[in-house]
Chain A
Amino acid sequence: MAEITYLQAITEALQEEMARDPRVYLIGEDVGLYGGAFKVTKGLFEAFGEDRVIDTPISESAIVGAAIGSAIVGMRPVAEIQFADFITCAFNQIVTNAATLHYRFEIAVPMVIRAPSGGGIHGGPFHSKNPEAWFFHQPGLKIVAPAMVRDAKGLLKAAIRDDNPVLYFEHKYLYRRIKEELPNEEIIVPLGKAAVVRAGSDATVITYGAMVHSSLQAADTLAKEQHIETEVIDLRSLQPLDKEAIMESVAKTNRVVITHEATLTGGIGGEIAALISEEGFEMLDAPIKRVASLDTPTPYSPMLEEYFMPNAAKIAKAIEDVVRF
């Protein structure tokens, strides 16, 4: 099998699930004829037709609301929000309707919302957002954020097969920048399971999305230059969170850095730090450090954006700090 990009892995997952289950359909802006703003849904309109790949008006609330309604009666929609920044236009539908229908009425909402998130692409304040923390705080939503090609495919397939609403935050910076050769077999990555992408004994980095790659870079540098061996945990799922994997690694290394591209304050990193402090205090040999974007909107000019975002050097510094504490 040839190498495919992170983006192609998403397309493959959509194509496979649509072929497998006639209830799966796509809905969003420019997803059909145009093939999607990033070409993720390219070819699917031709393959499955206008009844299963629906081009909508600019109406995020109606797109998500209609997807929810169709899911209630047995369809399995994959709705797309063109840029994760625009998910706020559908916020009420997501947190009020999608998230609460099962708790209140035992009515399942087997809907996936795909949202290209993240910066580093000179997108400025409204094309670079990582909005997962807002939804992390609403009970009733599952959230995934793949960092690897295999997980991009496997998590999306699992999300589509899950009977609950799943927010799938794909990272646009990773679309064409990472490639992997996938085995020629069905790939399903279960929700709620983290992956140890690098084993180590000196410190643990807990991360997800694009920062997994920056963390691996930091770990490589520290191993070469300072013989520090960092364990990197790719969460893959934010809700449910793999607490077991987190605590297992904390027990192993006793020193924790949490990094995410989303802004610092109120980010998921704070919740993970609190969790470790509550349930693993005695295992810690250093305070928990967080590395995240500044508490500002995403600036546009490249040197401003670089200053705003975490990167391998900032993560390496934090690892060093906890190791040397």
Chain B
Amino acid sequence: MGVSPEIKVQLYQLIYKTRATEDRLLALYRQGRIMGGVYTSRGIEATTVGAALALEKQDFLFPIHRDLGAHLAKGQSVLNILLQYLGRGNSLTHGKDSGIHASDMDLNIIGNVSHLGAMIPVAVGAAMGMKMQGKKVVALNFIGEGGSNIGDFHEGLNFAAVQKIPFVLVIENNQYAYSTPAHRGYSCARLSDRAKAYCIPGHHVDGTDAIAVYSVVKQAVERARDGEGPSLIECKSMRMVGHSAHDDAFYVDKKLLEEGSKKDPIVRLRKCLIEDELSSDAEIAAMEKAIDTEIEQATQQALDSPLPEAHWASEGVFKP
């Protein structure tokens, strides 16, 4: 399936923005301005951005902790993400939850819980609920190769398959789940083969190729929208950073890091834009500068934003 030049340029901007925003988050973390964990996605941006961009506005995105790129691709602002990480009172969760654990119903983004896999049945249910209301809406959820081993993966995907629910599950196989290498998580070579267990389509994609990810996910999303049920897509990449900012990842196989360094999604897509003459060095530089400026302004605005009021902690447990 052909991907338009406009989409390719958009993919580049979003991947660059993801990398730049995460670099800023890491800087803020090292300055001691971010209290909690910071999860970055160096090497995985093509997967998170490529998959989320394949969704339409009315589709539901269910990201997990490393999917900042997906939030951006769905239309979220850098400012909102920074406010979240800085725990400000005017953040999407008013300081109640951290990092990108945030929802935005204007963008149809539902934030995650920390329990990996727990969003799978919920995402399936959201798609089911929209189907019940006659809406042609697809829900997309991410899971890591590590998280894919939890029970909810099976229950959620099986339920979606048997009920033919418009759901797409993208496995971000970045080869490490915290310190656990993939081969200690499961016994087979390809997680996409699990699709056979549910008699749904399974795809295996180079997760560092944004255009390939976008293309495969788009097909799966439209297939779901047409009423043909769920798909499982495994996107392979390499986690080029530790599990979180505090983790120096000493345990990672150096050979895998070396391989991964040759497949940087930004480098790959930039090369593609130049070679296919979809953009020039100058145009790309201009795009990047604009993004850098946006992030700079957002950072200042976020730092200047007020903290929550302490008593908010006791409010909002129930809807009145």
Q: Which residues of B contact A164 (CB under 8 A)?
A: 318-319
B132 touches A107 (CB 8 A): no
User: Residues of B contacting A65 with CB < 8 Å?
Assistant: 118, 120-122, 124-125, 152, 155-156
Interface residues on A, range: 35 or more
Check B282 for interface membership: any CB of A closer than 8 A. Answer: no
Give the contacting residue for B132; candidates A51, A100, A102, A140; CB below 8 A. A51
- Decide: A75 and B129 in contact? CB cutoff 8 A: yes
* A68-B93 contact, Cβ under 8 Å, with A61-B151, A74-B133, A108-B319: no
- The distance from the CB of B148 to the nearest CB of chain A, in whole angstroms, is 15
CB pair A61 B318 closer than 8 Å: no
Measured between alpha carbons, how far is A54 from B124 in the docked complex, in Å?
14
Inter-chain contacts of B127 with A (CB < 8 A)? 69
A63-B121 Cα distance, complex, nearest whole Å: 8
6 additional A-B pairs beyond A66-B122, A103-B316, A105-B103, beta carbons within 8 Å, are: A69-B124, A69-B126, A69-B129, A70-B132, A73-B133, A164-B318
List 27 A-B residue pairs with CB atoms under 8 Å apart, sorted by A's residue number: A62-B152, A62-B155, A63-B159, A65-B120, A65-B122, A65-B152, A66-B121, A69-B122, A69-B125, A69-B129, A70-B125, A70-B129, A72-B129, A73-B60, A73-B126, A92-B152, A93-B121, A96-B115, A96-B118, A97-B118, A100-B113, A102-B319, A105-B93, A105-B103, A107-B103, A107-B110, A140-B318
How long is the Cα–Cα vector from A139 to B60 in the complex, in angstroms?
Answer: 27
Chain B residues within an 8 Å CB radius of A163:
319
In the assembled complex, B197 has its CB within 8 A of some CB on chain A: no
Beta-carbon contacts under 8 Å, A116-135 to B: none
**Contact B155 A61, beta carbon cutoff 8 Å:** yes
C-beta contact mask, B94-119 vs A, less than 8 Å → 1, else 0? 00110001110100001101010011
Per-residue CB contact flags for chain B residues 155-197 toward chain A (1 = under 8 Å, else 0) read 1101100110000000000000000000000000000000000
| Contact A102–B318 (Cβ < 8 Å) | yes
Contacts of A73 in B (CB 8 A): 60, 126, 129-130, 133
The reply to whether B158 and A69 form a contact with Cβ atoms under 8 Å apart is no
Q: If the complex has contacts A104-B111, A139-B317, are A56 and B123 also in contact, measured as CB distance less than 8 A?
A: no
Query: How far in angstroms is the closest Cβ of chain A from B81?
Result: 15
CB of A71 closer than 8 Å to a CB of B: yes
Docked CA distance A265–B246 (Å): 41
Residues in A with CB closer than 8 Å to B159 are 56-57, 59, 62-63, 66
B140 at the interface (CB under 8 A from A): no
Q: How far is the CA of A67 from the CA of B250 in the complex (A)?
A: 42
Interface contact A72-B126, CB-CB below 8 Å: yes
A77-121, CB < 8 A from B? 92-93, 96-97, 100, 102-108
Residue B61, interface by CB 8 Å? no
On whether A69 and B123 interact (CB within 8 A), knowing A62-B156, A100-B113, the answer reads yes
Interchain CB contact under 8 A, B132 and A106 = no
- Given A65-B125, A69-B121, A73-B130 in contact, is the A103-B96 Cβ separation under 8 Å? yes
Interface centre among A66, A67, A71, A142 (most CB of B within 10 A): A66
Distance in angstroms between the alpha carbons of A57 and B101 in the assembled complex: 30
> B215 → chain A, closest Cβ, in Å?
27
Closest CB-CB distance, A142 to chain B, in whole Å?
A: 7
Give the distance to chain A from B106, nearest Cβ to Cβ, in Å: 13
B122 & A68 in contact (Cβ 8 Å cutoff): yes
Provide the residues of chain B in CB contact with A75, threshold 8 Å.
Answer: 129, 132-133
The complex places the Cα of A114 from the Cα of B140 at a distance, in Å, of 29
User: For residue A59, which residues in chain B have a CB less than 8 angstroms away from its CB?
Assistant: 155, 158-159
The docked-state distance in angstroms from the alpha carbon of A255 to that of B297 is 65
Q: Which B residues touch A44, using CB under 8 A?
A: none
With an 8 A cutoff between CB atoms, is B128 at the interface?
yes
- Return chain A residues, CB-CB under 8 Å to B115: 92, 96
B110 shortest CB reach to chain A, Å:
7
Instruction: Determine whether the beta carbon of B105 is less than 8 Å from that of A71.
Output: no
Given contacts A59-B155, A61-B155, A107-B103, contact A72 B122 (CB under 8 A): yes
Q: Would you call A168 an interface residue if the criterion is a C-beta within 8 Å of the partner chain's C-beta atoms?
A: no
Q: Complex: how many Å from CA A75 to CA B130?
A: 8
Q: Which residues of A contact B121 (CB under 8 A)?
A: 61-62, 64-66, 68-69, 93
Interface 1/0 per residue, A245-266 and B, CB below 8 Å: 0000000000000000000000
CB distance from B113 to the nearest CB of A (A): 5
- B-side contacts of A140, CB under 8 Å: 317-318
| A25 on interface, CB distance cutoff 8 Å | yes
Most chain B C-beta atoms within 10 Å of own C-beta, residue among A69, A108, A139: A69
Most A CB within 10 A of own CB, among B60, B155, B316: B155
Contact of A106 with B317 in the complex, beta carbons under 8 Å: no
Between A63, A74, A92, A105, the greatest number of chain B beta carbons within 10 A of the residue's beta carbon is seen for A105
Given A66-B125, A69-B125, A75-B133, A92-B118 contact (CB < 8 Å): yes
